[in-house]
């Protein structure tokens, strides 16, 4: 299979996930502003060469990818982080509450054990708390804390040609004690996401939702009645 990508807006593409890289990979997205780019999540790490080729297929030079933005610590999103960081020389960013498990390679809390694979420890260069605005070329990325699925789950928000694009990877959950999930926090985070009224939602496993109504309907479907 040759390199491929799915373009979402003029400067955003899906470059990883089932059908693009390895079957167990959660979606990985590329955000490219003038002169700089960021990768949102890294998959399990079993198809790094393919992921990098897919990035290049967007016309983005690998040397411009200076940030790896991790949405949370789970293996299908962060298992490939250490290798991506090594190959690209980029900085990794994750919420401080999930960073310790990424750095230690905790197989239980990252759910690596669910996949029968070890979690490769990865340094976290930028510890987030939520509320930051990270400069990316001539654009910026807003960080929004959405705890619940994991203590340090975050969403990333960018403006792409006037469209409000939200990267909130595991909106659907699941919630599990091994993952340190918290149902009360999760429901509050869903309401926070609804209030953002995003135009486009890039999710980790359910694909891309376009239009405020479609985004809201998806998020609302997981709210407790």
Q: Does pLDDT of 42 surpass 80? A: yes
Give tens-digit pLDDT for 47-70. 999 999 999 999 999 999 999 999
Domain boundaries in the chain? 6-220
User: In the predicted model, what is the mean pLDDT of the chain?
Assistant: 95
Q: Does pLDDT of 208 surpass 60? A: yes
pLDDT score of 224: 78
Cβ contacts of 145 within 8 Å, gap of 6 or more: 95, 128, 129, 130, 131, 152, 153, 154, 189
Give tens-digit pLDDT for 26-37. 999 999 999 899
Strands of 91-95's sheet in order across: 6-9, 12-16, 28-33, 36-40, 65-69, 91-95, 126-128
Find, among 38, 158, 44, 166, the residue nearest to 16 by Cα: 44
Written as six digits, the tokens of 20 are: 């693009």
Give tens-digit pLDDT for 104-140. 999 999 999 999 999 999 999 999 999 999 999 999 9
In CATH, the architecture of 6-220 is: 4-Layer Sandwich (3.60)
Contact in structure between 187 and 148 (CB atoms under 8 Å): yes
Helices (H) and strands (E) in the chain, counts: 6, 13
Q: What is the mean pLDDT of residues 174-199?
A: 95
Q: Does pLDDT of 1 surpass 80? A: no
Written as six digits, the tokens of 61 are: 């030079």
pLDDT score of 2: 74
Cα separation, 58 vs 97, whole angstroms: 33
What confidence tier does 203 reach under pLDDT thresholds 50, 70, 90?
very high
Specify the DSSP element, H or E, that contains 113.
none
Q: Whole-model pTM? A: 0.96
């Amino acid at each position: 299979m040759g390199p491929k990508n799915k373009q979402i807006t003029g400067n955003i593409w899906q470059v990883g996930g089932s059908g693009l890289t390895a079957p167990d990979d959660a979606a990985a997205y590329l955000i490219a502003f003038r002169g700089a780019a960021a990768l949102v999540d890294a998959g399990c790490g079993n198809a790094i060469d393919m992921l990098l080729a897919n990035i290049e297929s967007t016309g983005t030079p690998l040397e411009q990818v200076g940030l790896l933005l991790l949405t949370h610590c789970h293996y299908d999103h962060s298992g490939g982080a250490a290798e991506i960081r090594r190959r690209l020389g980029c900085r990794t960013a994750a919420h401080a509450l999930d960073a310790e498990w990424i750095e230690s390679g905790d197989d239980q809390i990252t759910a690596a054990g669910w996949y029968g694979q070890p979690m490769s420890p990865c340094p976290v260069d930028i510890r987030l708390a939520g509320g930051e605005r990270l400069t990316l070329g001539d654009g910026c990325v807003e960080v929004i804390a959405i705890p619940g699925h994991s203590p340090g789950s975050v969403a990333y928000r960018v403006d792409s040609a006037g469209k409000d694009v939200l990267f909130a990877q595991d909106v659907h959950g699941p919630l599990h004690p091994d993952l340190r999930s918290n149902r009360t926090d999760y429901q509050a985070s869903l309401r926070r996401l609804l209030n953002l009224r995003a135009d486009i939602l890039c999710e980790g496993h359910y694909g891309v939702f376009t239009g405020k109504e479609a985004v809201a309907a998806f998020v609302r479907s997981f709210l407790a009645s």
